[in-house]
Amino acid sequence: MNSTTNETCSSRADDPGTRGGLSSVVGSVGRRRVLLGLLASGTGAALAPVLTASEPAGPADAGFEETYRRRRIVGVRDRVGRSAHEGSGGWRVTVDGRPLHLMRRADGSWMTMVDHYQSYPTPLAAARAAVDELGPTERLSMPGDSADHMTGSGTPSRPTGVEGDHHSGVHA
Amino acid sequence: MVYTRKDVSTLTQSERRRFVTALLEVKRRGEYDEFVRAHIEYFKPDGERGLRTAHMAPSFLPWHRRFLLDLEQALRRVDDAVTVPYWDWTRDRTRTAVPWTDDLLGGTGRSSDRQVMTGPFAYGNGGWTIKVGVTDTAFLQRDLGRPGNPLALPTARDVEGALADPVYDTAPWNSTSTKGFRNKLEGWGAGRGAASWRNHNRVHRWIGGQMVGAASANDPVFWMHHAFVDLLWSRWQQRHPNAGYLPASPLAVGDAQHGQVVARQEKMPPWDVTPEELQDHSGIYQYV
């Protein structure tokens, strides 16, 4: 599972370059930009068979799978080769099959890229809060899901996403 | 030459127009989206290891000061009369006050999908397509005041609670610091839900839409909000002239935050600059 979803990483050698005096921010970010295709498309379906059914507010360590406000939320405790300091908090969570990046706060609570200025007691609560923030037709970004961002071959046409898996799921 | 940052409510019609025009041009040039990317990249929470500079850290204030300076430079390359105005959300508190007017940032989003339909940054005008985000949405979104579950902007009293703290920041130098000006202003409060959203964080939540997520810099109000946060840092410095950025020196090897926060004279990525070098902005700009 991890070998297929965790390693679809491509880095960019080229840099969009710096424009005028914006040098510092742009240059630094651009040089280190990496696309990590964490949880490539279809992952939600692929993970489903290994899930154990869980209660919505189940033990912190259990996975979860539920439909919340017409969105399919799937969370899997990632036990293989990943830990909190790698940026996912040790969880793989998807909403309608698209990766929702979870992050851990020092107080043990959880936050997501969608809802970034507050945190929640469990990964499921954070995922629900992210769904709350999504509009009726709004979807999470998939790395490279836009024609503007990827070529047809699946190779980034220009830097996509940002450094490391910390920000997988950013459309850029 | 030292330039002036003004309260957005005091801008003349011409100043409003030139500010908006400069923003749209920086966006058109492709520069703006690099700021959005940078903000996303540097949002590193404190439950993870590694250096944090932008949030949940003492350098929250100098990081955003420098971030604003870079954006302001980009604006001033377009029009050197433009500076970033600040939005005093303790005074302009309603959904129809400045900066939510048609000649500045436009208003709140429509109820169906929170799409901003008014003002220069409405998607329909063609000049403000969201290209870097955490969702697939191409239009700017807001939900001012979150009418579905209303909350209020921070008050002058809330701000005073932060300004009164004579210490810049305290251990553990993160979002759980219960004392110190920095986190009281950044706004990671104790508890859950609305009660835990203080000052800076609460304003992001009040605006809604992209401002709630990692790609918050997509909303041009980001800069006005952070200019006011930056102004509050200046006010705190004036009130506590003998207090400075903390930690003053790098944390010891045994400290849980060793290597994770920037001390006063350490470089603050992504820039080759230290918090100490950013403490005094009087040679670059002033607030009126």
CATH assignment of the domain containing A32: 3.30.1880.10
The answer to whether B186 contacts chain A (CB < 8 Å) is no
Q: How far apart are CA A18 and CA A20, in angstroms?
A: 6
> DSSP letters along B3-50, please?
EEE-BGGG--HHHHHHHHHHHHHHHHTT-HHHHHHHHHHT---TTS-S
Q: What region does B222 belong to: left with phi over 0, alpha with psi -120 to 50, or beta?
A: alpha
Strand partners, B5: B287
Q: Is B252 on the interface with A (CB under 8 A)?
A: no
Nearest to B34 among A22, A145, A167 (CB): A22
pLDDT tens sequence across B223-269 = 999 999 999 999 999 999 999 999 999 999 999 999 999 999 999 99
Distance CA B122, CA B128 (A): 7
**Nearest chain A Cα distance for residue B242, angstroms:** 30
Encoded tokens for B37? 């990317």
The angle subtended at Cα A109 by Cα A163 and Cα A113, nearest 5°, is 35
For tokens 């899930």, the residue is: A51
Residue (of B2, B45, B53, B4) closest to B273 by Cα position: B53
Q: How confident is the model at residue A19 (pLDDT cuts 50, 70, 90)?
A: very low
Q: Residue A89's pLDDT is what?
A: 64
Cβ distance B73 to A137 less than 8 Å, yes or no, reads no
Q: Which amino acid is at B212?
A: V
Q: Do A162 and B37 touch (CB under 8 A)?
A: yes
Strands B3-5 and A9-11, bridge-based pairing: unpaired
Q: For chain A, what is the domain count?
A: 1
Contact state of B40 with A170 under an 8 Å Cβ cutoff? yes
> What is the arithmetic mean of pLDDT over A72-76?
96
Instruction: Flag whether A35 is in a domain.
Output: yes
**Per-residue model confidence as pLDDT tens digits over B78-98:** 999 999 999 999 999 999 999
CB atoms within 10 A of CB B269: 17
Substitution target in A41, A117, A128 with the highest count of B β-carbons within 10 Å is A117
Cβ <8 Å between B45 and A20: no
Q: State the pLDDT at residue B122.
A: 98
User: Which residues from chain B sit within 8 angstroms of residue A170, using beta carbons?
Assistant: 37, 40, 132-134, 214-215
Q: What is the DSSP letter of B73?
A: H
Note whether B67 contacts A25, CB cutoff 8 Å. yes
Structural domain for B32, as ranges? 3-287
- Does this model's pTM top 0.90? My answer is no
Domain, as residue range, for A114: 2-167
The region of weakest confidence among A151-155, B29-33, B162-166 is: A151-155
CA closest to A136 among chain B residues: B113
Which CATH number goes with the domain that contains B176?
Answer: 1.10.1280.10
Beta strands in B52-164 (DSSP E): none
Contact A117 B192 (CB under 8 A): no
In a domain, A28, yes or no: yes
B270 CB-side CA count, 13 A = 24
Q: Are A171 and A158 in contact (CB under 8 A)?
A: no
What is the tally of structural domains in chain B? Answer: 1
Report which of B132, B123, B146, B115 is spatially closest to residue A135, judged by C-alpha positions: B115
Ranges A33-37, B104-108, B174-178: which has the least confidence: A33-37
The answer for residues whose C-beta is within 8 angstroms of residue B132's C-beta and 6 or more apart is A170, A171, A172, B33, B36, B37, B40, B215, B218
What is the pLDDT, as a whole number, of residue A163?
A: 34
- Position A172 in a domain: no
B99 and B87 Cβ atoms separated by less than 8 Å: yes
Which residue in the block uniquely carries the two structure tokens 């679809």?
Answer: A8
Residues of A in contact with B172 (CB under 8 A): 106
A123 to chain B, closest Cα gap in Å? 14
